[in-house]
Chains A and B, each alone.
Chain A
Amino acid sequence: MRFSPSQVRPAAGVVGALLLWEVLVRLTGVSSDIFPGVPAVARELWRLSHNFAFWLALALTLRSWLLGLSIALVAGTAFGALLGLQPRMEEYVHDTVEFLRPIPSVALIPLAVLLYGTGLGSALMLIIFAAFWQMLLQTIHGVRDVDRVANDMARVYRIRGWSRLFHLVLPSALPYMLTGLRLASSVALILALTAELIIGTPGLGKEIALAEQAGATAEMFALVFCAGILGVVANLGVRALESTLLSWHPSRRQKA
C-alpha cells in the first residue's frame, strides 16, 4: 500500500513529536513530578477512561458549554436580527455595544463568584457574556449583507414581513451566523474551562486544577490532552454543521 507524502508527513510529525518529548524527558532526567514521560501520560489516559469521575466531569463541562452557548445563540441572534433590521435602533446602541464588547469576560469572575458562588450560574454568566457578543455582531453583519439584487427582486414581487425574513434575510445571514456560532462556541468552551479552573465549578477544568495542586502531573497532562481533544471535536462539530447547513451556498459548490 503506497501512501502519499502529504499523508505520511503529518503522521511522521506526530510520532516525531512524541519521540522528541520522550527523549528530552529521559535525557534531561527531569523529575516526573515536573514533566512526565509519554508512557506515564498514556497510562493515566487509560486509567481515566475507566474512571467514572472523569466522564462525569467531562459531562459537566459539556453541560455548561452547551447550555451557555445555546442561550447566547438565541439572545445574540434575536438582538442581532432586531438591530440589523432596524438601523435606527442600532445607532442608539452602537457605542454602548462597542464599549461593553472588549471587556474581557474573565474580569467578571469575582462578580460571578459573589453572585452565584461556585456553581453552574457563575460559569453560565461568564460564557453567555462572552459568546453573546460574537453572535450579535455576526448576525447584524449577516442581516445587513443581503444581496441588493435579491432585495430589489423581493420588493418587486412584494414579498414582505415574515416571508421576506425567512426567504431573503435568513439565507443571506446564515453564513455569517454560522461563523458567529463557530467563534462563539470556541469562546464559550474557553470560558467554561476558565470558570472550572479558577472558580472551581465542577468539570474538566476543576479536575485539572485539583491534579495540579495534588502534584499528579501525569494525570494533569492527560486531562489537558483531553481538553484539547474536546476543543478539536467541538471545532469539527461546528464545521460539519456549517457544511450541512450551507451546502447550497455558492462558495461551497464546485463550478461545473
Chain B
Amino acid sequence: MARTFATRALLPLLLLLLWWACTRGEGNFYVPTPVGLFNAFLTEWIPHRLLHDAAPSIVRLLCGFALSGVIGIGLGLFLGRSEVFRQVLEPILEFMRAIPVPVLVPVVMLLSGIDDDTKVLIIAFGSIWPILINTIEGVRGIDPLLIDTAGVNHIAGMPRLLHITLPAASPQILAGLRQSVALSLILMVISEMFASTSGLGFSIIQFQRNFAIPEMWAGIVVLGLIGIVLTGAFAWIEHRLLNWYRGLRATASS
C-alpha cells in the first residue's frame, strides 16, 4: 500500500489537534498553546535570537564538524595505510572512542577558556573519533585486488588516493561522518549549556531559568529543526555519493 498523503498526514494532524485540545481553557504551565508558541517564536526568536544566538551556534557547529572531518579523514587515511602507527595508536584511539563525549567538555575548557574558539574546539575534538576510526577501518578494508591492480598499473600517490583509496573507503567514511554530525550537534548544545554566555543552548537555558516557557519551547523547536535539517541534508548527500555502492550491493546480493 503506497503511502498516500492522507496516511502520512493523519498522525501529525491528530497530534496537533490533541495538543490544541489539551491546552485549551486555563492552560498548562509547562506546555504552551499552539498559538502561544507561535507568538513566542515571532516576538522573541525572529529576528533577534535567531541572528544573535542561533546563527553563530550553527556556524560554530559547521566549523567544528568541518575541522573534525578534515583532520579525521586525513589522519585516518595515513593510519589506515601504516600498520605500525595504527597498532601503536590503537589503544588510545579505542579509549577515546569509548569516552562519553560530554566529559571532554570540561577538559577542553580547561585549556582554552570559554570563548568561541573553545566551542569549535570542543565540537571538533569530540566528534573526530568516529570519523578517524571509521576512515581507518575503511582504508584497511579495501579489497586487496584493488590495491594490487593499482600496483600493477603503477598508480600511486595523489591519483591513487583520489580514484582508488577514497572511493573504496567512502561508505565507511560517510558512516563515520554521519555519527559525527549527531555528536557535533550534541556537543554544540552541551558546550553552550555548560559554561557560556551566548548561543542557542544558552538561550534556551536562560528562558527556562526565567520561566519564559513558550520562548523556551520555541528554542527547543528551533534546535529540533536544526537536527532535522542537518540529518536530512547529510542523508541526501550520502544518498547521492553512494549511489554506486547501493547498486553494487544490490547486484551482489541478487
Stretch of B91-99, B116-124, B153-161 at the chain-chain interface? B91-99
Give the CA-CA distance A111 to B1 in the complex, in Å: 38
A194 is contacted by which of B90, B102, B182 (Cβ under 8 Å)? B102
Q: How would residues 189 to 204 of chain A score, 1 for a CB under 8 Å from any chain B CB and 0 otherwise? A: 1100110011000000
Q: Please classify the interface of chain A as helix (H, G, I), strand (E, B), loop, or mixed, using the class held by over half of its residues.
A: helix
Give the CA-CA distance A102 to B186 in the complex, in Å: 11
A234 CB contacts on chain B under 8 angstroms: 98
A194 touches B1 (CB 8 A): no
A103 touches B101 (CB 8 A): no
A17 touches B92 (CB 8 A): yes
A243 CB contacts on chain B under 8 angstroms: none
- Contacts A108-B220, A232-B98 given: A6-B87 contact, CB under 8 Å? yes
Q: How would residues 23 to 51 of chain A score, 1 for a CB under 8 Å from any chain B CB and 0 otherwise? A: 00000000000110000000000000000
A190 CB contacts on chain B under 8 angstroms: 100-102, 186
Q: How would residues 206 to 238 of chain A score, 1 for a CB under 8 Å from any chain B CB and 0 otherwise? A: 001100100001001101100110111011000
B227 is contacted by which of A5, A102, A221, A224 (Cβ under 8 Å)? A102
Least Cβ–Cβ distance between B33 and chain A, in angstroms: 16
Interface size class of A (residues with CB under 8 A): 35 or more
Give the CA-CA distance A35 to B109 in the complex, in Å: 11
B25 at the A/B interface (Cβ < 8 Å)?
A: no
B95 CB contacts on chain A under 8 angstroms: 228, 232
B230 CB contacts on chain A under 8 angstroms: 102
B152 at the A/B interface (Cβ < 8 Å)?
A: no
Interface size class of B (residues with CB under 8 A): 35 or more
A91 at the A/B interface (Cβ < 8 Å)?
A: yes
Q: Looking across the interface, which residue of chain A has its beta carbon closest to that of B193?
A: A198
Least Cβ–Cβ distance between B27 and chain A, in angstroms: 15
A52 at the A/B interface (Cβ < 8 Å)?
A: no
B98 touches A10 (CB 8 A): no
B91 touches A197 (CB 8 A): no
Q: Please classify the interface of chain B as helix (H, G, I), strand (E, B), loop, or mixed, using the class held by over half of its residues.
A: helix
B10 at the A/B interface (Cβ < 8 Å)?
A: yes
B7 CB contacts on chain A under 8 angstroms: 91-92
B205 CB contacts on chain A under 8 angstroms: 109-110
Give the CA-CA distance A13 to B79 in the complex, in Å: 14
A197 touches B102 (CB 8 A): yes
A13 CB contacts on chain B under 8 angstroms: 87-92
Q: Looking across the interface, which residue of chain B has its beta carbon closest to that of A113?
A: B208
Least Cβ–Cβ distance between A45 and chain B, in angstroms: 15
A230 CB contacts on chain B under 8 angstroms: 100
B207 at the A/B interface (Cβ < 8 Å)?
A: yes
A94 at the A/B interface (Cβ < 8 Å)?
A: yes
A111 touches B186 (CB 8 A): no
A91 touches B3 (CB 8 A): yes
B88 CB contacts on chain A under 8 angstroms: 9-10, 12-13, 16
6 more CB-based (< 8 A) A-B contacts, given A198-B194, A232-B98: A91-B7, A102-B224, A102-B231, A105-B186, A212-B110, A224-B99
- Residues of A near any B CB (own CB < 8 A): 5-6, 9-14, 16-17, 34-35, 87-88, 91-96, 99, 101-111, 113-115, 186, 189-190, 193-194, 197-198, 205, 208-209, 212, 217, 220-221, 223-224, 227-228, 230-232, 234-235
- Residues of B near any A CB (own CB < 8 A): 1, 3, 7-8, 10-12, 15, 30, 84, 87-92, 94-96, 98-107, 109-111, 182, 185-186, 189-190, 193-194, 201, 204-205, 207-208, 213, 216-217, 219-220, 223-224, 227-228, 230-232
- List 18 A–B pairs whose Cβ atoms lie within 8 Å, in order of A's numbering: A13-B90, A34-B110, A88-B1, A95-B12, A101-B231, A102-B182, A102-B231, A107-B227, A109-B189, A109-B205, A111-B220, A193-B100, A193-B102, A193-B103, A224-B103, A227-B99, A228-B98, A232-B94
